[in-house]
Structure 1
Amino acid sequence: MHKLTALTPLGSDTPRMDTIGDLTISEVTDRALASVAARRDQEPALRTALSEAYKMELPDVGGSSQAGVLSVFWTGPHQWMISAPHDQHEQLARDLKDVSGATASVVEQTDGWCRFDVAGPALCDLFERLSNAPVRDMQPERVIRGILEHLGVFLWRLEQDRMAVLGPRSSAESLHHALITAARSIA
């Protein structure tokens, strides 16, 4: 039998955390992800199914919401990304598919993305060096799909001084390098 070892997007057996000046950049690896796309004319039924099963409200353009331990953010027209603690929801995509039935297409996304949380009072200074997203105007629970250092990412404002960056797992090292380099430029 194979003895496989899970690795983080940065290739380690433990998530990386870097503190530079008053900024902390943390690799987040304990979240399950699934994308949900409403099928044609099925968004109202999908909203009802998720509300009944999880008390979840699907956010509108640029928004996010919480439903217990589940988080959901808008990713595109009739599309959302749902996140949950991996140890409690390892089969998140399957469970969402069971609830949504024929109202939505659900795809497992956990290992397709990397996530870095950036926290600290210089948060906006850092992101202004990396992206043209209007981070100073972003309120908590807002999400922007944009470009960060030539990579397509989601910027998700979790709190006033905390932002999650979700990007392609295959570009995790490039994304991490960009965040570290920008943090050093303002430290």
Structure 2
Amino acid sequence: MLDHVTDLTPITALGATAARAESFGALTVTENAGLGLASLALRKGQSAPQPFGLPLPGVGTAVSMGDYAAFWTGRDQWMVEATGKAEVNFAAMLKSEAPECSLTEQTDGFTAFEIASSQGAAPIEALMRKLVNIDPKAFGPGQATRTGLEHMTVFLIRRADDRLAVIGMRTLAGSLWHALAVAARRLED
């Protein structure tokens, strides 16, 4: 019989007990360890619900309302976000709001990094030019897309002129952090 219990302290995608944040000049990159994620897909012939009062966005866009947000991922498919819901079964919460939809918990499959600028849009746009093949002037607030970033596939969400979210596979969290930090650091020079 075992007389000890294994330490089951939760860790973030970057392997720490607290979310990582680092500033690079005007930019701050923060691991959003509390973000709950679930994918939502309509079934044949179904109309789009409004989970938590949130109207689901159209092609290439994102919406937010309070602690909830959603971005389009494909025809009749979205990723729904919930601030502070990483430690609960967010898909079950979403299922109560959209019982006829197909839902899958995604929180543990992805990691999110929030990038904020203290000097408006210019630093965010400069970072985007270093990282992705997307015209930052044409990718304004409320837009979302799936794209390549180095060797990884990520979702980009332009939350505001001065804020960008990057969501990628949790297994690549270290590589994604490294890519973001290196690019942000180069902008300081």
TM-score > 0.5 by shorter chain: yes
Structure holding more helix per residue: 1
Q: Which residue of 2 aligns with 1:113?
A: 110
What is the TM-score with the length of structure 2 in the denominator? 0.88
Runs of 5+ in structure 1 lacking a partner? none
Q: Counterpart amino acid of 1:10?
A: L
Q: Which residue of 1 aligns with 2:26?
A: 22
DSSP-derived class of the 1:7 partner: coil
How far apart are the structure 1 equivalents of 2:85 and 2:103? 20
Q: What is the aligned residue count?
A: 180
Alignment deviations for residues 103-150 of structure 1 (CA, whole Å, 9 cap, x no partner): 321000111101111122411111111110222221211101101112
Matched, 1:9 2:33: no
Runs of 5+ in structure 2 lacking a partner? none
Q: Tell me how far 1:54 sits from its aligned partner.
A: 2.2
Matched, 1:165 2:158: no
DSSP-derived class of the 1:179 partner: helix
DSSP-derived class of the 1:135 partner: coil
Comparing 121-130 and 82-91, the one that deviates more: 82-91
How far apart are the structure 1 equivalents of 2:141 and 2:73? 16
Q: Which residue of 1 aligns with 2:139?
A: 138
How far apart are the structure 1 equivalents of 2:33 and 2:106? 13
CA-based RMSD: 1.7
The correspondence for 1:73, drawn from 71, 89, 98, is 71
Q: Counterpart amino acid of 1:147?
A: G
Q: Tell me how far 1:2 sits from its aligned partner.
A: 4.5
Contact (CA 8 Å) 1:133, 1:144: kept in 2 or not?
no
Alignment deviations for residues 64-103 of structure 1 (CA, whole Å, 9 cap, x no partner): 11233211111111110111123598232012223322x3
How far apart are the structure 1 equivalents of 2:39 and 2:32? 18
Q: Counterpart amino acid of 1:125?
A: A
Residue identity over aligned pairs, in percent, reads: 37
The correspondence for 1:39, drawn from 40, 43, 49, is 43
Alignment deviations for residues 22-48 of structure 1 (CA, whole Å, 9 cap, x no partner): 111111111111100111221x1xx2x
How far apart are the structure 1 equivalents of 2:92 and 2:145? 27
